[in-house]
Amino acid sequence: MDESDRMQSPIFTKTSDFLLWLLNHTEGFPKNERFRMAKRLEDSAFSFYELLIETSRTSKRKRAILIKADVELEKLRLFIRLSHQRKLTKMDQYHFASETLVELGKLLGGWLKTLPENS
């Protein structure tokens, strides 16, 4: 997958859009939460995107890298849920983030299914 393919791939586009939304969203967190919840959210989102890039750039260990990406996605789900429970994320924002993360999970699962077991 070269850079132009990556830029057109739905998982990369959706992740990039989510990252932009998330950065704008966490800017509004209270100062004490920016160093706690916002950092965790942002770090997981960036790690997820970086793992997608790594997978697209390598010919080896694709499956293992995508499984790491799935772990980051699960962390993101947890952090979004916690930010909602702590009233840092409003209900409509929570729904948007949750739906986006579900969609990213489906796209990631689809990518995993295309890979041979030993890749």
Instruction: Delineate the domains of the chain, giving CATH numbers in brackets.
Output: 3-114 (1.20.1440.60)
Angle between helices 91-114 and 62-85 (to 10 degrees): 170
Among positive and negative, which fits the CA dihedral 21, 48, 11, 83? Answer: negative
- Work out the pLDDT band at 26, boundaries 50, 70, 90: very high
- Work out the pLDDT band at 87, boundaries 50, 70, 90: very high
Q: What is the CA radius of gyration of the chain?
A: 15
Residue 4 has pLDDT above 70, yes or no: no
* Residue 113 to residue 75: CA distance in whole angstroms: 22
* Residue 106 to residue 93: CA distance in whole angstroms: 20
Predicted TM-score (pTM) of the model is 0.90
pLDDT of residue 58: 86
The secondary structure of the chain in percent helix, strand, coil, rounded to multiples of 5, reads: 80, 0, 20
Q: What is the mean pLDDT of residues 57-64?
A: 90
* Residue 15 to residue 37: CA distance in whole angstroms: 19
Q: What is the mean pLDDT of residues 109-113?
A: 95
- Work out the pLDDT band at 116, boundaries 50, 70, 90: confident
- Work out the pLDDT band at 1, boundaries 50, 70, 90: very low
Cβ atoms within 10 Å, residue 69: 24
Residue 69 has pLDDT above 70, yes or no: yes
Least confident of 4-13, 44-53, 85-94: 4-13
